[in-house]
Chain A
Amino acid sequence: MKHFLIKLFLILLSTWLCFEVVLRWFDLARYTIPTDQIGNNCMLKPGYSGLYVGGGFGEIQAKFTINSQGWNSTEDFNLISDSQTVRVALIGDSYVEGTHVDVENSIGRQLDRMTHNKTITHEYGRSGANIEDFNRVYNSFVKGKYDYVFVLLRDGNLNATSATFMNCGCSKEEHSSKSKGMIRSMYSHSAVLSYLNINQFLTENVQNMIKKIRENFSYSGSAASDVNAQGQTKVQTKQIPHKENQVDWDFGPEVIILYEKKLLNKHEIIQKIPEKHVFLAVNHNENDVLDFGFDRHWNSIGRKDCAITMFHAIRL
């Protein structure tokens, strides 16, 4: 038994070491972009640039550059008072933040190229942002300063109930738990852990497992609804209560909503916006591949499609 366990330990140890080498050699385990506190907002770390890597084999690789205000953009968002230039703001979540494509191929840059730089587009995108964040971004940075304001609204943006980055700060979350800090430190030292966390959601899965164990030992009700006809178990996840009606619609009349087909039609909120101010974000050719398959974020083609929609909206 002793020999077997030693042998197994050596095998697992050498596997870990080899895996670390493989991941570092092929650059498959990039760390998430660090955040920083700007005012009371949790922003991406200003001045930070690099390569975003996602997917098991690094299928997604894109350059990013964080400007001095904490947004993913090569330029700082300084407004120019040039009557020849149309000022455009785009507010959204990770689809606008755009770390899945090179920063030079973001929606805004593609729009600016389409208009031969007659527009200057600032993209206020932040991963995980929701409608409340959008409202705050609009009121803090955008309102009254741009000729056109677009909000890219997706299904998921309407489900959360409280802001995730605007007015919530980074530090209180990061320093609230010692274990969280320790886990992050482990990730930053081990490519294997980092890889597993990025691609297999290690932390989230461990948390879900602990939650499930707790539920299994304290729960005695029916579980029939958790199993489908094939006997596959669905992971129980806590549903965020849908409180769409409580979301304040605090945008000005100039705001144009871009949305994904079929995603928002069912939401009441879409009825509140004048019809001429609502556009499908992408009107694509059915043969076009707009995303990365396992990751539904748009690729360059998807973003170009969105830029075309904005282009048409501006010409109105």
Chain B
Amino acid sequence: MKRAGRGLNEHGTLVTPPPHPSLASGGGSRLRLAASFGCLAYVMTCFAISAAEIPQNERRSSYADMARDSKAMQDDDTANPGMLSVLDGEALWKAKAGAVGKACADCHGDARASMKGVSARYPVFEPKLSRPINIEQRINLCRTEQQKASPFAFESKDMLALSAYVSLQSRGQPIAPPDDQRLAPFRETGRTLFNQRQGQLNLSCAQCHDDNWGKRLAANIIPQGHPNGYPLYRLEWQSVGSLQRRLRNCMIGMRAEAYEYGAPEYVAMELYLMWRARGMTVETPAVRP
């Protein structure tokens, strides 16, 4: 099935849906009037979406909206189930892997020093691929090119464990997207995807997370949608999960067709979300309901 109304075409350029044709009824001058109103409404909608970006001082982590028990779970490293995954990741960091027989630690040394602040600035531009990559893709590049090992599957236990361990080293640091001009077009793609209506429900990410955060969707408080705790332990999942899993979840909720794991669209959205959350504190491994 083709994705309706948004996405990248085979040339890698963004496909924008046409303006809504609902006002194109009636004839003659009425039609022209209606059409110009339609255009005006469309322009105003676009303006409203870009103007509704959350002001810097109003941004907040979803931690603030959690119940006391969930906060306590995240705050205590011996009660946070995400730390179990971190322990697995620490073992993987030190384990020799692949044909080269090298561990992550053999090149990068002590992760507590070498990985500090790393996940706070990802995704970064990878010149070899001429596109940005996220932390999971960096781990897999290291595995295939440096260790000559098989890549981890996205969302596999090992991938989540190693990325959680690496990201833990940035806990408490501010999100700091790099000032790299090569990232700019991809970040703009991410912004467009974030603001673009999609799926059978015809919703954009921005409609919930920019325009209606803090209100309720059924019993849940709509979060601002910041990527500051990933990979995180979600009580609903009963496991650790990545930001891409969360994005897929939202897309399935809007009844859009989710992209494959590792798709450039997710990395573009990740870039935009990290920029949107710049300066916020990394909480990995966060706990969320």
Q: Does A associate with B in a complex?
A: no
